[in-house]
Amino acid sequence: MVQKDEKILWSKGRLALGLIFFLLCYAYLWIVVKPHLIYHGYGTLIPDIPEFVTGWRFWVDSLNTPGGLVQYLVGLFSQGYYESWLGALFIVLMALCLYALSRWHYAYIHHSASTVLPFFPAVMIVLIYNHYDHPLAACLTSSVGLLLSLIFEKIPIRRIPARMVVFCLMAVIGYWFAGAGSVFVFSLLTIIYLLFIRKHWIPAVLTFPILAVIIWSLAEYIFILSPKQAFIILMPFPDMTADVRMLSKILSVMLYIFIPATILLICFWKSVFEKDHIIHPKKTKITSKRKGRTLMRFGKRLLPLIPMVVLSAGLYFSYDGIHRQIVEMNYLSRLERWSDVLELGRRLPKNIYNIYCNHDINRALYHAGRLGYDMFCFPQNPHALLLTHEQEESSMTQLKMCDTYIELGNMNYAEKLASEFLAAEGRLGMVLEKLAWIDIIKGQEDTARIYLNGLKKDLIYRDKAQSMLRGLTNGFEESRAATIQRIASCIRRSDNPRLYTESIEEMLTGLLKQDPNNRMAFEYLMACYLLAGDLKNIAVNLTSLTDLGYQEIPTLYEEAMLIYQGMYGREPDLGTFEIKPETIERYNRFVRMYNSMQPQNRQIVLQQLIREFGMSYFFYYRFTVSSPAGTSQR
């Protein structure tokens, strides 16, 4: 009776610890990871997200492809990440699903430590999401494989030929619904159970060849796929060239093989070291037996704490606050929360550089009216302003430059980038919205309606699509209409045969020629000249300040003109403006300090220059780096 009560207490304690574990996982994912940051990284920071639209046709089309059901569910559940609480709930439910399936597998082989091992897939899932990767496809695929294996083992058919026929039928279903990855897990577990539980060697050896024939036949005669495509659908072979962290790649593979591998080791151990023979232990004192039982009981009660300890240690040692800030900046720039972008940019460690963060910060500075003042308060790269660092534009560059070019008025190039992104990444709602706005601004309302009717099938963007369609019919609100009119006035109307090959300077000067009041084009052109050290062109363009409504010369332009005056010995044409006395005083102090630099005191003077002038154009022009120095490419 005492022993029975002890087992009941042990079971209740284990259930409570499991509940606490998953509740803590949910709280961490919701409050710390924030899955909405993952949602806004689809197609860029997180590639290969399956598209999802509502409607019967899309459902049918999904089921007509191998792995289509899993891809459909991944696309559907991924929409829930738009709300962090819902995304965290989906992640925890997926972890619970893997926990339950793995626990049933360990119970099937009568493993006593099954109270601990089932938690480890959940630990892996949380660690992957902590790096802002998205292993939902791997979770669903491996879950289908585990479920198929459990069903197969429970089928009351003993004859080997009949069981192999059932195996083939289930493999076809698994491949159809969840791709090659699910039947890979299913076949691994089937082989292990055939070898160690049922003791059938021949079927075990034939399992993989039979599976290969099934997949090849389905690809050849049903789905019309090449063998290579057929065998890699939802398989645990991550793209090692993709921008995904190595730990996440390893853990994603482990989601497929952890349970089969541990079951294999347990079965091997049992077959070798726990055979049915009697061991006659030496006589020991009763007191030592009692001590041993006490220690075993104490250790058994500590076992459920192991997953919590492992997860806590993994989160602590693998946490990357810098990557988190980069992901968050991408989210803030998507929502055009420019003050928050600048605040986050100030918190970024100054010895870390990311070109996309630099681009977002410069765009935020323009919207805050500070690009001509505070540009060198942040590490700068000449390629970051308009993301010219790639020979072939990545999806991240395409999306960010699409937004920037829309604001600049370079609509044809923005449309090109959005169309390329759509073709590569699928029907992501944010891109359909951009294409619709481009056509609205260009006055092509019929084309815009086509995009908006497609956008209505997106779960997240459907309300926005309805609102834009109403705007097309009844007119947009005053602020939105003013923005559309302003950008429309900036569009270059004349055909340019070099539209997609012209230099950044040619593009910006062309925009200014079309609309001399295009303030963004002016400030970005001046920023290009500042970064290139082109003092003469800065001096030439200062005459536009009055027409653009400036009340004073921005500080960085003043500093550039003082350098120009010192180098060429003549004053630039400032029109009605004058350089502020405090800027002249700072320039004279910089020159005196710079001229005092000798080999014996170079480091001391350099450090003083960084402290006083590191965020000025004086310092950048001389050293081609802004404060703080020593930035490294990330």
Model confidence over 554-583: pLDDT tens digits? 999 999 999 999 988 888 888 888 999 999
What is the mean predicted confidence (pLDDT) over 594-601? 88
Confidence of residue 391 (pLDDT cuts 50, 70, 90): confident
Question: Is the confidence at residue 348, as pLDDT, over 90?
Answer: no
Question: Is the confidence at residue 89, as pLDDT, over 90?
Answer: yes
Angle at 314 between CA 311 and CA 316, to 5 degrees: 110
What is the mean predicted confidence (pLDDT) over 14-21? 82
How many whole angstroms separate alpha carbon 583 and alpha carbon 148?
A: 74
Q: Is the dihedral of CA 144, 427, 238, 99 positive or negative?
A: negative
Q: Using CB atoms within 10 A of its CB, is residue 198 exposed (0-12), middle (13-18) or buried (19+)?
A: middle
Task: Name the helix (H) or strand (E) containing 353.
Answer: strand 352-353
How many whole angstroms separate alpha carbon 402 and alpha carbon 408?
A: 10
Please tell me the least confidently modeled range out of 270-284, 405-419, 440-454. Answer: 270-284
Q: What pLDDT is attached to residue 285?
A: 47
Those residues whose C-beta lies under 8 Å from the C-beta of residue 350, and which sit 6 or more positions away, are 379, 627, 628, 631
Confidence of residue 67 (pLDDT cuts 50, 70, 90): very high
Confidence of residue 318 (pLDDT cuts 50, 70, 90): confident
Q: Tokens standing for 109?
A: 């082989």
Q: What pLDDT is attached to residue 499?
A: 62
Please tell me the least confidently modeled range out of 72-76, 127-131, 572-576. Answer: 572-576
Please tell me the least confidently modeled range out of 41-55, 119-133, 236-250. Answer: 236-250
Q: b/e string for 235-265 if b means 16 or more Cβ within 10 A?
A: bbebeeeeebeebbbebbbbbbebbbebbbe
Q: What pLDDT is attached to residue 321?
A: 85
**Residue located via tokens 């080997």:** 160
What is the mean predicted confidence (pLDDT) over 63-76? 94
Please tell me the least confidently modeled range out of 183-197, 276-290, 590-604. Answer: 276-290
Q: Is the dihedral of CA 27, 28, 33, 35 positive or negative?
A: negative
pTM: 0.89
Confidence of residue 280 (pLDDT cuts 50, 70, 90): very low
Question: Is the confidence at residue 624, as pLDDT, over 80?
Answer: yes
Question: Is the confidence at residue 371, as pLDDT, over 90?
Answer: yes
Confidence of residue 9 (pLDDT cuts 50, 70, 90): very low
Question: Is the confidence at residue 630, as pLDDT, over 50?
Answer: no
How many whole angstroms separate alpha carbon 381 and alpha carbon 355?
A: 7
What is the mean predicted confidence (pLDDT) over 41-67? 89
**Residue located via tokens 């493999």:** 171
Confidence of residue 282 (pLDDT cuts 50, 70, 90): very low
Instruction: Please give the share of the chain, as a percent, with pLDDT higher than 70.
Output: 89
The neighbour count for residue 93, using CB atoms within 10 Å, is 12
How many whole angstroms separate alpha carbon 334 and alpha carbon 606?
A: 38
User: Which has the higher per-residue pLDDT, 22 or 9?
Assistant: 22
Say if CB 527 and CB 385 are below 8 A apart: yes
How many whole angstroms separate alpha carbon 150 and alpha carbon 102?
A: 10
What is the mean predicted confidence (pLDDT) over 76-93? 96
Question: Is the confidence at residue 633, as pLDDT, over 50?
Answer: no
Say if CB 518 and CB 490 are below 8 A apart: yes
Q: What pLDDT is attached to residue 43?
A: 86
Angle at 31 between CA 27 and CA 32, to 5 degrees: 105
Say if CB 221 and CB 180 are below 8 A apart: no
**What are the tens digits of pLDDT across the range 303-316?**
667 888 889 999 99
Per-chain mean pLDDT for the chain? 87
How many whole angstroms separate alpha carbon 446 and alpha carbon 93?
A: 43
Q: What pLDDT is attached to residue 277?
A: 40
Confidence of residue 300 (pLDDT cuts 50, 70, 90): low
Q: What pLDDT is attached to residue 281?
A: 41
Confidence of residue 183 (pLDDT cuts 50, 70, 90): very high
How many whole angstroms separate alpha carbon 405 and alpha carbon 434?
A: 11
Question: Is the confidence at residue 524, as pLDDT, over 70?
Answer: yes
What is the mean predicted confidence (pLDDT) over 133-139? 94
How many whole angstroms separate alpha carbon 356 and alpha carbon 533?
A: 22
**What are the tens digits of pLDDT across the range 466-509?**
999 999 999 999 989 999 999 998 887 655 656 667 889 999 99
Q: What pLDDT is attached to residue 495?
A: 58
**What are the tens digits of pLDDT across the range 228-279?**
899 999 988 755 445 557 888 899 999 999 999 999 999 998 888 765 443 3
